[in-house]
Amino acid sequence: MKGQRPGAAVEKTVSRIVALGLAAVFVGTLMAGASSLVSLGALAVLTAFLWATLAIPAELTALIFFAALLLTGLAPDHVALAGFESKAVWLVFAGMVLSEVIGRHDMGHALFDRLLGRLKSYPALVWLISATGLLLAFFIPSAMGRVLIFAPLVRALTDRLGLAEDDPRRHGLFIAAVLGAVIPAFTILTSNVPNLVLMGAAEAIYGRTLTYGEYLLVNFPVLGLGAFILIPLLVLRLFPGERRIALPPAVPEPWTRDQVKIAFLLAVTLAFWTTDSLHGISSAWIGLAAAVASLLPGVGLLPPQAIGKLNFGPWFFAAGTIGLGGVVSHSGLGDLLWSQAAAAVPFAGLPDAAKYAVLQLSAMALATVTTLPAIPAVFTPLAGSMAESLGWPLDAVILAQVPAFVIFAFPYQAPPVLVGLTFLGVPLRKAMKVMLCFAVLGLAVVSPLHYLWGRFIGVFP
């Protein structure tokens, strides 16, 4: 595939060989009669490794995880399958349906062509593309769906502009589109899988239901807007080019009747999401209602049969990551691991700002060896023990992991980023220039400001 990393096939083969070795270790612990904690630890490492390397599809890894738990009895059925009972999983399903609706009726073109207007400069276009990616995050609850809808539009735009394959502006626009559609959205509860895994794990383990409004208030003003500002600035700095551009004249097609219906449905859905703390209806059930409405006969947005053609991979993946968190918490494995770390390091004596840094850096370290959705799956079960040893409120510890969703340096950590860059043919070494600078500035500037904001609104001590 164009844009694929050199040696990717070799890496995948090596990953599968290592995975077979880890699977043999897991089976060996069972045959040797090791304690359930040892076997669960081996299974958790195998699962996290497969998700990190994508040696096999993520949804297949989730199914292997479920099968291994149920066949061996290492966890009760209700714990192993708790992910399917989570509200977050049903929000993933709603996102799959709504993404299909938006893609089928070409809402991306209907919105994007109108936003282009009479732009005449490359910097303005970079900012517009980043802003459009962020705007889509409020309406399309699937990062992969956003990327797969938005990326072809931006590629068509660069062709209309006549930008050559080797023009830095072409790659700059592509990077702005992918990163802009994914990274700031980690601060919008309904918009990315790690957010939903965090939501589901917090509810399943601690009975704590995060609302759309409170999550947005804590994370969007600094983390979300900070990422939105940094991405275009870095793209323009690292991918400069002639400022003036000339868009061929084009008149957007009038909105169709179905597009008007979709716009109304999305507006109502967003209105209910942002006011969930007032009416008390979970954002998951609001999304599910919107998905059901789009499938109803007579509405005309999707035929009811379309549900059988959806890609349910993200659904199983979300259930698997939430299930992993539940199993780690229920078994006591997470508490055991953190107690060992807490015994070696005097966390309680650290200043609160240092405690925040420890939590964020711990989550970021985890993210370098796995994918971002695995952070809340592993980190959230530890939150109770962390809160006790740090002397922090549980909510503060749960939410302190969110900066690690936003501030990361490698495309593999966020599958939608990797897929989008590969789809658009962006060499990963070029994208890495932006991502590494973003990670450094995020740690140095955005993260400390986020902590100060959290203290100001009373979330962080």
pLDDT in tens, 93-151: 887 788 788 778 777 667 666 666 667 789 999 999 999 899 888 887 778 778 877 88
**Which residue in this structure is represented by tokens 């109803």?**
296
Helix residue ranges, H only, 165-312? 168-182, 193-206, 212-219, 225-238, 257-274, 276-279, 283-295
Q: In the numeric block, which tokens belong to residue 9?
A: 């096939």
d(CA 423, CA 409): 19
Q: In this structure, what DSSP letter does residue 444 have?
A: I
Helix (H, G, I), strand (E, B) or coil at 457: coil
Amino acid at 364: M
Residues 229, 180, 256, 296, Cα dihedral to 10°: -120
CA dist., res. 437 & res. 42, Å (int): 35
Secondary structure (3-state) at 244? strand
Give residue 117's pLDDT.
60
The one-digit pLDDT tens for each residue of the chain (461 residues) are 444 444 567 777 888 888 899 999 999 998 988 888 888 888 988 887 887 677 888 788 889 999 999 999 888 888 888 878 777 778 778 877 887 887 787 776 676 666 666 677 899 999 999 998 998 888 877 787 788 778 878 887 888 788 888 889 999 999 999 999 999 999 999 888 889 889 888 988 888 888 998 999 999 999 999 999 999 999 999 999 888 877 666 666 788 888 888 888 888 988 888 787 788 888 788 888 988 998 888 777 888 778 777 778 778 877 887 777 778 767 777 666 666 666 656 676 789 999 999 888 888 887 776 678 778 888 888 888 888 888 899 999 999 999 999 999 888 788 788 778 877 888 878 888 999 999 999 999 999 999 999 999 999 99
Q: Give the span between the Cα atoms of 192 and 48, in whole angstroms.
A: 19
What residue type is assigned to position 455 of the chain?
R
The single-letter DSSP state of residue 254 is: P
Taken in order 430, 436, 439, 441, the sign of the CA dihedral is: negative
Q: Given this model, what pLDDT does residue 339 score?
A: 65
- Continuous segment of H or E residues that includes residue 400: none
**Whole-angstrom distance, CA of residue 383 vs CA of residue 395:** 9
Which pTM value belongs to this model? 0.75
Sign of CA dihedral 371, 375, 376, 378: positive
